[in-house]
Chains A and B, each alone.
Chain A
Amino acid sequence: MTTRGWWLSAIGAVAVAFGLWVATPRSSQADVTGEPHEDDKAGHAHVPAPVEYADAHMPPGVWTDPAMIARGKEIYAIKCAVCHGDTGDGKGPAGMVLPLKPPDLRDKAGIAEMRDNYWFWRISEGGLVDPFKSKGSAMPAWKDDLSVQDRWAVIAYQHTFSGHQGPHVPWEHPEMVLVGRDIYEMACVSCHGAEGKGDGSVGATLSPRRAPQPRDFTTSDFKFRSTPSGQLPTSGDLLRTITEGVRGSGGPLTFGLSGHRIMPSFRQMPIEQRLELIEYVKSLNPRFWERTEVKIVPIPQPPPVTPERLARGKQLYADAECLACHGDTGRGDGKSAPELKDSLKLPIVATDLRRPARFKNGSRPEDIYRTLVTGFAGTPMPSYADSLEPDQTWDLVYYVLSLSGDPGRAAGASGRGSAR
């Protein structure tokens, strides 16, 4: 064959190949590495659940509860199997015709990475929320059709497709918190320690032989909470702390840190990474999964500041014995102040209330309200939830803010931004 003949043959072959490629149905073309799926890992669809769903954890017993699994099977057969298939393979008759195919729930590795709160979020909101909406998900939202218990029952049944016998929790599937673990190892381990016990090599040097020390995530003593005294924080609380950092009265190594923070603010870290980090931190403490209900202390709308309110607040400051630690002027020099110790028996300084910018839990009126009603676990700062009415708490909040000598503070000037 001549050179010209070779060229023409090559062009012909390319044309045939092109024709074959074009004539091949689109779905087959997409199937080279698997058709696009709702939970396509390559597309990183296992994004962290938003903070509103982050505390949705199934109590471990439910994963293997035969009654719940049977209930889930019933619901699944009626509501889910038409798309997800009777065997969970994602090949139900309605699922097969969708542009975005349902995931294969038998995929052991894929399911192992999926957190329960993500799963609950997906069933609750379906494809109505991003990033699934943008991808064209046709998954219905079931939150109005299925009770919370029924959604967990469906999840418990779907989990059986993966073949895993135990509870679907991070200590069974560490892969579900790998991203958060990596972030933790880069950003947190030096203070909080490899196992989250607050024993990192750098942490103790920030405040040598005195409080505060880095948090031990394996205990129940979390200072910054919106939950009642003695309870674990919400994921939103953890997000707020990570976002804002923790201000302190200072230590040798906090000089120069923004806002005298003893823990830095991670505001610049993308929200998805902060949420992944929170999932890892929670995985260090199974009690986050054991609680059956997450109660949040309500913070009512702040009332207007009035001279009468400030006067009542001043009286409450004395009556509630705030001055015993914080002193008459709020300087932190009350008669008990020198003896104060935290739960680790380390000396702890009473906060100087004249400097709201250094309040550990924030200096907005609602932050101080939250501090008063939740207290700081592991420190001498008690909760006043049982001893003060909401209106009295506001009186005290405004009086505390007035101690700074800045009238704008008491009128509600914000010392902290939002968590997001």
Chain B
Amino acid sequence: MVTRVLAVVVSALLWSAPAWADKDPISGTVKAVDTNARTVTLESTTKGKTRQVVVHLKPGAKIVKFARSSEPGKTGFVEQTLGLADLKPGWIVSAETQHEGDKEVADVVKVVLER
């Protein structure tokens, strides 16, 4: 009995392990883009504190923006993929980041506003 219960506890903890990686959405204004280091520096405010966050892009990470469909009869938004060099300071973006060591890493950056 003890063994079975322990097995359940361990498997529950293992199952939840990926979530411990603390995945958080973050949004902010692009302050800088480093195409060599594959990083985007965002100025973001949460809980009353404004900070600059360096987001490291995973290999193969996508940067997307949303544009109106050009297909006849379709007026909704479609995703368009951008290169890192296309991101410009001043744009507002959102990214779902994870802590990896002392880094914030993301595999998708979504453009909210280009300006």
What residues of chain A have their CB less than 8 Å away from a CB belonging to chain B?
4-5, 8-9, 11-12, 15-16, 18-20, 22-27, 77, 81-83, 86, 92-94, 97-100, 127, 133-136, 138, 140, 145
Q: Given that A82-B77, A99-B24 are known contacts, is A19 also in contact with B12, CB under 8 Å in the complex? A: yes
A sample of 15 cross-chain residue pairs with beta-carbon separation below 8 angstroms, ordered by A number, consists of A19-B16, A26-B24, A77-B68, A81-B77, A94-B112, A97-B112, A98-B27, A99-B24, A99-B94, A127-B45, A133-B50, A134-B47, A136-B45, A138-B27, A140-B92
Inside 8 A of A86's CB, which chain B residues have their CB?
75-76
Q: Which residues of B contact A145 (CB under 8 A)?
A: 115
Additional 5 contacts, C-beta under 8 A, given A12-B8, A19-B12: A11-B5, A18-B12, A19-B15, A23-B18, A82-B77
- The answer to whether B28 touches A98 (Cβ under 8 A) is no
Check if B84 is an interface residue, CB within 8 A of chain A: no
Residues of B within 8 A of A25 (CB): 19, 23
- Chain B residues closer than 8 Å to A138, beta-carbon distance: 27-28, 92, 94, 112-113
Tell me, rounded to whole Å, the shortest Cβ–Cβ distance linking B105 to chain A.
Answer: 16
CB within 8 A of A93: which of B9, B12, B27, B79?
B79
B2 beta carbon closer than 8 Å to chain A:
yes
Q: How far is the CA of A140 from the CA of B28 in the complex (A)?
A: 10
CA distance A97 to B8 in the complex (A): 34
**Once the chains are docked, how many angstroms separate the CA of A16 from the CA of B50?**
37
Given the known inter-chain contacts A15-B8, A26-B23, A140-B115, please indicate yes or no for A134 contacting B110, CB distance below 8 A: no
**Least CB distance, B43 to chain A, in whole angstroms:** 11
Chain A interface, DSSP helix/strand/loop, else mixed = helix
Q: Does B46 contact A (CB under 8 A)?
A: yes
Task: Flag whether B60 is at the interface (Cβ < 8 A).
Answer: no
Residues of A within 8 A of B110 (CB): 93-94, 97
Taken together as a complex, chains A and B put the C-alpha atoms of A95 and B46 apart, in Å, by: 17
Which among A8, A20, A22 is the interface contact of B1 at CB below 8 angstroms? A8
Q: Whole-angstrom distance between the alpha carbons of A356 and B19 in the complex?
A: 68
Measured in the bound complex, the distance between the Cα atoms of B16 and A19 in whole Å is 5
Q: Quick one: which of A16, A98, A134 contacts B112, CB cutoff 8 A?
A: A98
Q: What is B's interface to A at a CB cutoff of 8 Å?
A: 1-2, 4-5, 8-9, 12-13, 15-16, 18-20, 23-28, 44-48, 50, 66, 68, 75-77, 79, 92, 94, 96, 110-113, 115
| Residues A136 and B27 in contact, CB atoms below 8 Å apart | yes
* In-complex Cβ contact of B9 among A4, A11, A136 (8 A): A11
The 9 closest A-B pairs by CB, nearest first: A19-B12, A134-B48, A22-B16, A138-B27, A8-B5, A15-B9, A19-B16, A12-B8, A12-B5
Q: How far is the CA of A99 from the CA of B8 in the complex (A)?
A: 33
A16 to B11, CA, bound (A): 9
Q: Which of A12, A15, A83, A97 contacts B25 (CB 8 A)?
A: A97
* Cβ–Cβ contact A23 & B27, under 8 A: no
Residues of B within 8 A of A127 (CB): 45
* Contact, CB under 8 Å: A94 / B12: no
Chain A residues contacting B68 (CB-CB under 8 Å) are 77
Contact A99 B48 (CB under 8 A): no
In chain A, what residue has the closest Cβ to B23? A26
Instruction: Evaluate whether A83 and B9 lie within 8 angstroms (CB atoms) in the complex, with A5-B1, A8-B2 already known.
Output: no
B19 near A23 (CB under 8 angstroms)? yes
The residue that B20 contacts in the complex, of A22, A100, A133, with Cβ under 8 A, is A22
**A175 vs chain B, min Cβ distance (A):** 29
Q: Which of A5, A22, A138 has the most CB of B within 10 A?
A: A138
In Å, the complex CA distance between A352 and B26 comes to: 62
- For A12, A20, A94, A133, the residue with the greatest tally of chain B CB atoms inside 10 Å of its CB is A94
